[in-house]
Amino acid sequence: MRKQMSKKHGGNLTILGKSKTKFPASPDKAKLETFENKYSNRDYWISFDCPEFTSICPVTSQPDFGIITIRYIPDKKCIESKSLKLYLFSFRNSATFHEEAVNRILDDIVKACNPRKALVTGEFRPRGGISICVEASYPEKE
């Protein structure tokens, strides 16, 4: 039943409905899947709140923790949430600065679904007494 639903509604979804989940080792190995936006005739926002984002500091190799929020207005395609979860999970063992992570996520969202607008925010827990908030938007603000 689940396979039929993903074929019927998503066309080429390969991750949703699998009984065993493979976790990608890095963002380069992760796949953001999409499905057809049946309401592409109107603007509406889709929001994903991801409160358990983790990555590795490229200098100290210590874990970094943060909240990633993704908001976008889809055009022809929408991001499938399970593939997004696995994609974000793939940062867990990746050495990346906060600024790089947020901008990479935005670039990959834009590449996957070509939204009308998108905003990715990363609110990272304090390290050394300073917390960092990074925001990247598409199209870029003028």
Residue 117 to residues 2, 94, 142: CA-CA distances in angstroms? 31, 27, 13
* CA–CA distance, 116 with 94 (Å, rounded to integer): 29
Residue from 28, 43, 64, 78 carrying the catalytic annotation: 64
Give just the sign of the alpha carbon dihedral 45, 113, 89, 140.
negative
Number of H helices, E strands in the chain: 3, 6
For tokens 């509406």, name the residue. Answer: 44
For 44, the enclosing helix (H) or strand (E) is: none
Task: Tell me if residue 64 is catalytic.
Answer: yes
Residue from 43, 49, 50, 57 carrying the catalytic annotation: 57
Task: Tell me if residue 75 is catalytic.
Answer: no
Which positions are annotated as active-site residues?
Answer: 57, 64
